[in-house]
């Protein structure tokens, strides 16, 4: 006869066995390895079940693959290229996010998001180390832990800058064609402020009051681990506000990138100022967008660097973009025009003007899958310190498929 007994050390069979030679019964403790494995499995499942009850965790992602054609003409060399591309419309990614209710109106949550190139399987975001080498990031798109309550949200980790058009705290949502849409169709590569995802970042975002929400952000070191002395880190600070009232939305951000005290002799050693102002209005039949950005003492603006000049004295400039989206034939049509003008702080002869136009279309095939196509043209007119202009023309066309899970 056996009785099952569950203990903190496992599961065992306890019972009595009749001794045929003596006729007596003896007690014994039999270890049952199969039962121990079964209990271990039950314990693991129970732990996951308990976790699922305590915290809401979601696995999510997107895969974007398609074909791209580019015609590039820099005035001396013409290039034509057809290639398979990942993330033309929306960056391929997978991630985990979750929240746990702490009680009394408080919640703790996290986001861990990996970016990858679906055409090669390679990690999409890299990191520049202190020695100049590159290393990959497991969660390069976002990695943050936050606490939220009626008083707002406080976050720490790797997130997008307020004006980057990326991540959970992005305030730059006033672009008809935002950070996707190929290399030369939208704003992100050749127009506007040089902002991206940042490491070591603290973000605080208030609740909305009368449609207004305020967000503040500070990065102790935008890429990689902080060094011992604060002034030797690439630091960033921003304050912004956005407003929503029915069909109308608007936002304003002022940010600053702090110059390190270890810049090379002759390089730009001034803090960079950036300003973003945007608005949108949904007329139902069409939604209109407007965006303006300004930079002063920038190392890079509108993809034009102070290294393009002879004095490395920093760049100032502005960018303006207008765009619309509209429902068409069961899908959504997009159109945008861009203009930017940048020059150096000292050498007025060195400047860069850029024009761009882009159109796109998405069509849903299901709730989680859509097809897209787009075309864009950009014309860059950089002028060097001698006043010589070199015109560059970029044309591209692409199409692809996005599946979300």
What domains are there in the chain, each with its CATH number?
59-91+158-404 (2.40.160.10)
E-state strands within 19-133:
25-31, 55-73, 78-86, 93-103, 106-115, 126-128
pTM assigned to the model: 0.80
Residue 275 · residue 298 · CB < 8 Å = no
Output the pLDDT for position 120: 93
Residue 203 · residue 217 · CB < 8 Å = yes
β-pairing, 134-136 vs 106-115, is unpaired
* CA-based torsion, 112, 116, 121, 126: positive or negative: negative
Output the pLDDT for position 185: 84
Listed residue (152, 184, 179) closest to 165, CA to CA: 179
Query: Tokens in use for 370?
Result: 């859509």
Residues of the chain with pLDDT under 50: 1-53, 310
Beta-carbon neighbour count of residue 81 at 10 Å? 10
H helices of 187-296, in order, are none
H helices of 25-110, in order, are 33-54
């Amino acid at each position: 006869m056996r009785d099952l007994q569950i203990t903190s050390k496992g599961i065992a069979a306890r019972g009595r066995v009749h001794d045929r030679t003596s006729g007596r019964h003896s007690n014994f403790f039999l270890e049952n390895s199969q039962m121990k494995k079964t209990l271990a499995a039950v314990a693991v499942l129970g732990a996951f079940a308990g976790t699922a009850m305590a915290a809401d965790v979601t696995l999510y992602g997107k895969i974007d693959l398609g074909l791209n054609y580019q015609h590039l003409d820099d005035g001396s060399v013409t290039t034509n290229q057809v290639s398979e591309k990942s993330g033309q419309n929306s960056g391929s990614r997978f991630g985990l996010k979750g929240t746990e209710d702490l009680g009394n109106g408080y919640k703790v949550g996290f986001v861990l998001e990996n970016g990858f190139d679906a055409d090669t399987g390679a990690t999409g975001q890299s990191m520049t180390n202190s020695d100049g080498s590159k290393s990959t990031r497991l969660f390069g798109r976002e990695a943050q832990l936050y606490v939220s309550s009626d008083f707002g949200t406080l976050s720490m980790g790797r997130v997008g800058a307020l004006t980057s058009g990326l991540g959970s705290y992005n305030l730059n949502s006033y672009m008809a064609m935002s950070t996707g849409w190929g290399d030369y169709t939208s704003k992100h590569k050749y127009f506007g402020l040089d902002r991206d995802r940042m490491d070591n970042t603290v973000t605080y975002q208030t609740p909305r009051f009368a449609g207004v929400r305020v967000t503040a952000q500070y990065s102790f070191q935008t890429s990689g681990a902080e060094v011992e002395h604060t002034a030797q880190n690439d630091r960033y600070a921003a304050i912004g506000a956005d407003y929503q009232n029915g069909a109308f939305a608007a936002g304003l951000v002022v940010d600053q990138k702090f110059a390190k005290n270890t810049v090379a002799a002759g390089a730009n050693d001034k803090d960079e100022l950036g300003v973003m102002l945007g608005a949108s209005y949904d007329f139902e039949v069409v939604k209109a967008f407007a965006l303006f950005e300004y930079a002063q003492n920038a190392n890079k603006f509108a993809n034009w660097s102070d290294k393009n000049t002879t004095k490395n004295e920093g760049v100032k400039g502005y960018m303006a973009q207008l765009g619309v989206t509209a429902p068409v034939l069961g899908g959504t049509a997009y159109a945008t025009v861009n203009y930017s003008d940048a020059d150096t702080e000292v050498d007025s002869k060195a400047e860069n003007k850029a024009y761009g136009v882009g159109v796109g279309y998405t069509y849903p095939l299901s709730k989680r899958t859509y097809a897209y196509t787009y075309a864009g043209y950009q014309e860059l007119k950089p002028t060097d310190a001698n006043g010589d202009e070199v015109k560059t023309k970029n044309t591209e066309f692409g199409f692809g498929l996005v599946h979300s899970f």
